[in-house]
Amino acid sequence: MVDAVVLAGGDAKGLASVPAKGLVPISGRPMVEYVIDALRSCADIDRICIVLPVEYSFADLGDEVGVAVASGSLPKVVKAGIDFLGTEKPVLLLSADIPLITPEAISDFLNRCSKLRAELYYPIIGYGESERRFPDVKRTYCRIKEGRFTGGNIMLIEPEVLVGNIELIEHVYELRKSPLKLIRLLGLIFLLRFILGRLSISQIEERVSQMLEAVCAGVITPFIEIGVDIDKESDLRIVMTALSGGGSE
């Protein structure tokens, strides 16, 4: 079992008049609660910490869920959640804006991670699944040797890896929706391989591992729910339709 930190801060960007993105209401509930529901229903999850930039009283989260208050840079907020849990074990990080996530998606990701030996695990989702189940969802895909992939909004990471690479991890997060800029970050040789269609998952893993001085693994998952995040009003409408029983299989 692993502990989880849910990042519920960030600007609501006009989605609602709330002080944090994770508090945007969906059917009368803050959307972070949908993520918490999935985590609480997942047998692989132990304790859970929600990190918010403001104090907020939830109705009933359960004894296994705590709330930490922190704001500022992404790594600072993540560290606040890890410190709140007081753990040195790998931690599952999730953003609060993925209310379609399910216990099955979480368990599947953690199971795939358990078959690898790394210190940072990041989910990647192949092109096609999102379009089949949620045709109106717009995702940013990166074409590499194995196909076209998009990233997820969760990560399994060793706390010491985070602490030792705070600035780099924050920079990567800021570039997450720009594949070309991310590849440029790896270096000129990798950029050329990318342009020529010869850049592979294993090459990216090796280079990122060198940069972080930690073993990193890309974990292919079929669960698009991990990647369907809410950035704008159209995303919110798609998610609300899906949660009400429409728009997906």
- In this predicted structure, the answer to whether residue 236 has a pLDDT above a threshold of 60 is yes
DSSP 160-228: HHHHHTHHHHHHHHHTTT-HHHHHHHH-HHHHHHHHTT---HHHHHHHHHHHHTS-EEEEE-S-GGGT-
Tell me the CA distances in angstroms from 13 to 9, 18, 170, one per residue in order: 12, 10, 20
Q: Which residues contact 122 (CB under 8 A, 6 or more apart)?
A: 151, 152, 155, 216, 217, 218, 219
Tell me the CA distances in angstroms from 91 to 78, 82, 87, 135, one per residue in order: 10, 8, 8, 32
Per cent of the chain over pLDDT 70 is 96
Segment 212-221, tens digit of pLDDT:
999 999 999 9
Nearest to 54 by CA among 17, 85, 93, 8: 8
- In this predicted structure, the answer to whether residue 31 has a pLDDT above a threshold of 90 is yes
- In this predicted structure, the answer to whether residue 249 has a pLDDT above a threshold of 60 is no
| Residue 96 pLDDT class (50, 70, 90 cuts) | very high
| Residue 130 pLDDT class (50, 70, 90 cuts) | low
- Paired sense of beta strands 45-52 and 2-7, if any: parallel
DSSP 125-162: EETTHHHHH-TT-----EEETTEEEEE-SEEEE-HHHH
Segment 67-89, tens digit of pLDDT:
999 988 887 898 899 999 998 89
Distance CA 72, CA 199 (A): 34
- In this predicted structure, the answer to whether residue 177 has a pLDDT above a threshold of 90 is no
SS3 content of the chain, % helix, strand, coil (to 5): 40, 20, 40
- Paired sense of beta strands 29-30 and 142-144, if any: unpaired
Please name the CATH architecture into which domain 2-242 falls.
Alpha-Beta Complex (3.90)
Distance CA 88, CA 218 (A): 22
What pTM did the predictor assign? 0.89
C-alpha atoms less than 13 angstroms from C-alpha of 113 in its C-beta half-sphere: 26
* Mean pLDDT of the region 151-158: 93
Average pLDDT, the chain: 89
Q: Which residues contact 151 (CB under 8 A, 6 or more apart)?
A: 122, 123, 124, 125, 176, 227
Q: How many CB atoms lie within 10 A of CB 17?
A: 8
- Determine the pLDDT at residue 223: 92
* Mean pLDDT of the region 173-177: 72
- Please give the residue that has the higher pLDDT: either 13 or 112: 112
